[in-house]
Chains A and B, each alone.
Chain A
Amino acid sequence: ETGVTQSPTHLIKTRGQQVTLRCSSQSGHNTVSWYQQALGQGPQFIFQYYREEENGRGNFPPRFSGLQFPNYSSELNVNALELDDSALYLCASSTPAGQNSPLHFGNGTRLTVT
């Protein structure tokens, strides 16, 4: 069983630039969620994708957007990067919401905005 994989592992961008992070979901999982984890804090929900459509969104501005592809992989795009966007971005896959459907996380992409 292949776990959740994310790329790249580390990324350094300049304020105002745009970034794309990628995620391959765990085998058998068709739902992908993205979380932002600032240093020393718990993960915060950005959004979830199911059947290639956004299926829930946290308190993040529209410059955070995403895609899900037919193979269930996903991208997180962030436009107009700000210094506060520096964080670990976690992708998690799961089966659709229901009984016993925990999140399975990848190891994240560490984004540094300078």
Chain B
Amino acid sequence: QQQVKQSPQSLIVQKGGISIINCAYENTAFDYFPWYQQFPGKGPALLIAIRPDVSEKKEGRFTISFNKSAKQFSLHIMDSQPGDSATYFCAATRDNYGQNFVFGPGTRLSVLP
């Protein structure tokens, strides 16, 4: 029940295209859902996060869509750029839980020039 599933495992997109990464969770107690971006040799960096009281959050080219009833959330990267090529992790946690973030297995995104 602690697992977060993520798909696809890898994704190749042309420059200017839309990248979509999907995640699903089981634990309905989760109430904070961040996305992290990780470049080789670096630690994960927070990209955008959402709470289940909203269905969508947009920051620049990055949008999270959240479906509470389906227990799914997704990351959309609009106008994808080669600089977006990285591994993306979705995560979930519940406040006041020792901040045990459960991470998905990651999606390796490659944006072709």
| A residues with CB within 8 A of B | 4, 31, 33, 35, 40-45, 48, 55-58, 90, 92, 94, 97-108
Contacts and interface: CB of A to CB of B under 8 A. Distances in A.
Interface in B83-110: 89, 91, 95-106
Contacts of B49: 100, 102
Question: Which DSSP category, helix, strand, loop or mixed, fits chain B's interface?
Answer: loop
Interface residues of B, number: 24
Nearest to A31: B99
A107 B43 contact: yes
A38 B100 CA distance: 17
Contacts of B95: 97-99, 101
Interface of B: 6, 34, 36, 41-46, 49, 89, 91, 95-106
B99 A103 contact: yes
Nearest to A110: B41
